[in-house]
């Protein structure tokens, strides 16, 4: 449930909120034109410079983060084990812990 909640909130912040904040819908009628009077009326190069870049960056970050998180915690486990037995010790059975 936490993953779903984070996805929904991040989708709202990076996709819908950015799109609606900069949308210019004055040609779509009085109601939409009143609420959405942004600077961008279409998906063009200016839209990508303002909004598309941050959306693409968020997607790339979401792809890379699980991999970085896995290797970070894996490296921490190895580091803690090395600190327990002594950084330069080659004996895997040596430990400072007295219990499990």
Which range marks the domain in which residue 54 is found?
Answer: 2-85
The answer to the question of residue 49 being in a domain is yes
Count structural domains, the chain.
1
Predicted pLDDT of residue 77: 93
Predicted pLDDT of residue 50: 76
The answer to the question of residue 90 being in a domain is no
The answer to the question of residue 64 being in a domain is yes
The answer to the question of residue 94 being in a domain is no
The answer to the question of residue 62 being in a domain is yes
The answer to the question of residue 72 being in a domain is yes
Phi–psi pair at 25, nearest 5 degrees: -115, 35
Residues 13-57 have pLDDT tens digits of: 877 777 777 777 777 777 776 677 777 777 777 777 877 787 788
Other Cβ atoms within 10 Å of 58 Cβ, number: 16
Residues 49-87 have pLDDT tens digits of: 877 787 788 788 888 888 999 999 999 998 988 888 877
DSSP structure string for 4-73: HHHHHHHHIIIIIHHHHHHBB-GGG-HHHHHH-B-SB-SSSHHHIIIIIHHHHHHHHHHHHHHHHHHHHH
């Amino acid at each position: 449930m936490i993953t779903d909640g984070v996805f929904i909130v991040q989708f709202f912040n990076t996709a819908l909120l950015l799109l609606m904040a900069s949308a210019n819908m004055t040609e779509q009628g009085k109601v939409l034109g009143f609420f959405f009077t942004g600077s961008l009326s279409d998906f063009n190069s200016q839209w990508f410079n303002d909004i598309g870049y941050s959306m693409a960056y968020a997607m790339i970050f979401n792809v890379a983060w699980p991999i970085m998180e896995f290797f970070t915690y894996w490296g921490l486990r190895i580091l803690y084990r090395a600190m327990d037995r002594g950084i330069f010790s080659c004996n895997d059975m040596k430990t400072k812990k007295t219990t499990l």
